[in-house]
Structure formats: structure tokens, C-alpha cells
Amino acid sequence: MNRIQLAAALAALTLLSGAVSAVAEEKAPPVDPAVKKYTDKKEKKAPKTQPVDINSASKTQLMKVAGISADYADKIIAGRPYVSKADLVTRKVIPEGVFAQIKRQIVSLPPQKGFSDKVAPKK
């Protein structure tokens, strides 16, 4: 191939690739407004919140967790410390249904040094 033929072939390929991409863009299926509305809502997720530590949270902090009433918050505080968040059910502090609702919103971190609620004295 000589240079003229090579230049012509490259020009033809360039034009052809531009035409193909233009056709591909034109054939994009239209989006149904109802589907778009649904997917837009789905993409908007609630902001992630930090889980509440059942061993150190105040009554007010505990009550911010959906499903924990003032009575449950008082019972959680009275039963501290907890080794696991599942202790709330095994010790019958809250019912299983409430635990299922809140288990992703709470954690049970080890008590801090100097923690004195219901801790047996060392012998």
C-alpha cells in the first residue's frame, strides 16, 4: 500500500467509527418516568449512623435508637455491663422482636477502665 491509500483507509475508518458511535447513542432506549422515579428513590439511602454502645450510652442516646423506649433504656442501663449485644435477649432485658429490630444499630464494646456499674469487686 502506498501512502495515499493508507491515508484514505485511515480516514474511512475514522469516519466509520464516528458514524457507528452516533448510531449507538441514538438507539438508547427511553427511560420510563415511573422507573426513573423508583431508581432515583432507591439510590437515595439514609445516611449511615454510628451504632450505639449499650455499655456506655446515656439514656437519651439509647432512646434515639428506633425501638428502644425509656423503659428499655432504663433496663439496659441497669443490666450493664454486657459482653455481647445478644445478652440483651439472653438476660431478658428486651424481647427478641425488639432485638431483631435494633441489632444493627447497637454494639457492645468492652467497658472502659474505671467502669463501675454492676462490676463485682476483685478479691
The answer to whether 117 touches 81, Cβ cutoff 8 Å, is yes
pLDDT the model gives residue 12: 74
Grid coordinates representing 54? 449499650
Does the global pTM surpass 0.75? no
Residue 26 CB neighbours (<10 A): 7
Interval 65-87: pLDDT, tens: 999 999 999 999 999 999 999 99
pLDDT the model gives residue 42: 54
Q: Is the pLDDT of residue 35 over 70?
A: no
pLDDT the model gives residue 77: 97
- The partner residues of 52 in beta bridges, in order of sequence, read 106
pLDDT the model gives residue 37: 60
Whether omega before 110 lies within 30 degrees of 0, making that bond cis, reads no
For range 45-68, the mean pLDDT: 90
CATH, range 52-107:
1.10.150.320
Strand runs (DSSP E) across the chain, as ranges? 52-53, 106-107
For range 21-46, the mean pLDDT: 59
Interval 93-118: pLDDT, tens: 999 999 999 999 999 999 777 655 55
- The residues spanned by each domain of the chain are 52-107
Grid coordinates representing 41? 428513590
In degrees, to the nearest 5, what angle opens at C-alpha 104 toward C-alphas 98 and 110? 100
